[in-house]
Amino acid sequence: MNYLSKICRTTQPYMAGEQPQDKKYVKLNTNENPYPPCNGVAEYIKNFDSARLKLYPDSDNKALAAKIAKKHGLSIENVFIGNGSDEVLAMCFPTFFDKDGDGVAYCDITYSFYKVWAKAYEIPSVIIPLADDFKFDVSEFKQSKCQGMIICNPNAPTGLIVNRLDLISIIEANPEKLIIIDEAYADFCNCSMANYVSKYPNLLIVRTFSKSYSLAGARCGYAIGDETLIRGLKTMKNAFNSYTVNSLTEGIAIKALEDVKYFSSVVDNVIATRDEYADELRKLGFDVLPSSANFLFATHETKPASEIYYQLKEKGVLVRHFNLPRIDNWLRITVGSPDEMKVLLDRLRAIVNA
Ligand SMILES: *Cc1c(COP(=O)(O)O)cnc(C)c1O
């Protein structure tokens, strides 16, 4: 007897980057931030009254929602908070897309979770290929037949961006479609479209504390958009699990938002290291796409990416290699601390010069 549903039996889950325990690696494979969260977070955890855990958290996380609203010049009715932006994005599928609708459009090379969610919720996918140089096809998105679309900007794993005017032209050309922008990496390029949420009722921005705020382990992400969109997300959330964000995490995220100075310095450091090591990789014979994120996407002129991946792993450095069409000769390398990047460069030099 097979007790699993048909959908479960046929679902291909998302494959996250490995988190191996066999030895200590220089870990540059899942786009985590190399710097710790701000001191305010450490203080908050130290002083957290564990008795608070006997109570449920506020199901709308209003204290955090107020902070997020303030940051973006919105009100709390424009904010939806979830257990990581993965949960927020997952919730978008049943909230905004129909099984028998025109489907959700996204790029062929982008965050691979979109396809997993579309399948899990049985929503049709409209796949729009990137150009040969991985550039985004604005006109295809403008005219595609779909119920809505998800644009990852900057895109993962390429690190390339769609410029603001192109995004606006897509949003304005499609007032009847929902445009979701996944801004997991937008803090690393100052290219957020958050300011346009109050202007366009068909724009939903999804953001996370995992990357630029160094809080991947705390699990917190959010969406901002028109009240009606947010109300829809809350309806679906409350049909699934009312308490997705725990009270400790809520307080942690508030503290992280308060220390604007530390946040900027972390982001600036990551950007400086990124740009420095993009050049170093180019000197070793890599073609490196101009990155607007906290990772580099690179291919070597002679050495196959899979070989570099395995040899780096043997030498204690983990990067991400996707065994997928069009990008199987590329590596995605998270920008680590300068010390980690020195180790990476040293190991890469030995591999490509061998
Ligand atoms: C990391 C990432 C997310 C998910 O982050 P959470 O940790 O779930 O907040 C979402 N989208 C993209 C493109 C990402 O790279």
Q: Give the pLDDT confidence of 93-116 residue by residue, as tens digits.
A: 999 999 999 999 999 999 999 999
Is pLDDT at 22 greater than 80 in this prediction? no
Q: Is 292 in the pocket of ligand 1 (CB under 6 A)?
A: no
Which residue range(s) make up the domain with 235? 39-258
Is pLDDT at 63 greater than 90 in this prediction? yes
Final residue in a domain of this structure, among 258, 288, 305: 258
214 and 279 in a single domain? The answer is no
Q: Is 152 in the pocket of ligand 1 (CB under 6 A)?
A: yes
Q: Is 334 in the pocket of ligand 1 (CB under 6 A)?
A: no
24 and 57 in a single domain? The answer is no
Residue 269 lies in a domain: yes
In percent, how much of the chain has pLDDT > 70? 100
42 φ/ψ angles, rounded to the nearest 5 degrees: -60, -45
224 and 293 in a single domain? The answer is no
Hey, whose CA ends up nearest to atom 1 of ligand 1?
A: 184
Tens-place pLDDT, residues 322-332? 999 999 999 99
Mean pLDDT of 128-132: 96
DSSP class of 69: H
Tens-place pLDDT, residues 260-312? 999 999 999 999 999 999 999 999 999 999 999 999 999 999 999 999 999 99
Q: Is 184 in the pocket of ligand 1 (CB under 6 A)?
A: yes
**CATH number for 293:** 3.90.1150.10
Ligand 1 pocket mutation pick from 114, 116, 162, 211 by most atoms within 8 angstroms of CB: 211
Final residue in a domain of this structure, among 258, 281, 296: 258
Residue-level pLDDT at 27? 95
Tens-place pLDDT, residues 243-259? 999 999 999 999 999 99
Question: CB within 8 A of 291, min separation 6: which ones?
Answer: 154, 159, 160, 188, 274, 278, 297
Average per-residue pLDDT in the chain?
Answer: 96
Distance 353 CA to ligand 1 centre (A): 35
Q: Is 81 in the pocket of ligand 1 (CB under 6 A)?
A: no
E-strand ranges in 183-275 read: 203-208, 221-225
Dihedral over alpha carbons 159, 164, 168, 170 (to 10 degrees): -30
Q: Which atom of ligand 1 is nearest to the CA of 208?
A: 9
Tens-place pLDDT, residues 24-60? 899 999 999 999 999 999 999 999 999 999 999 998 9
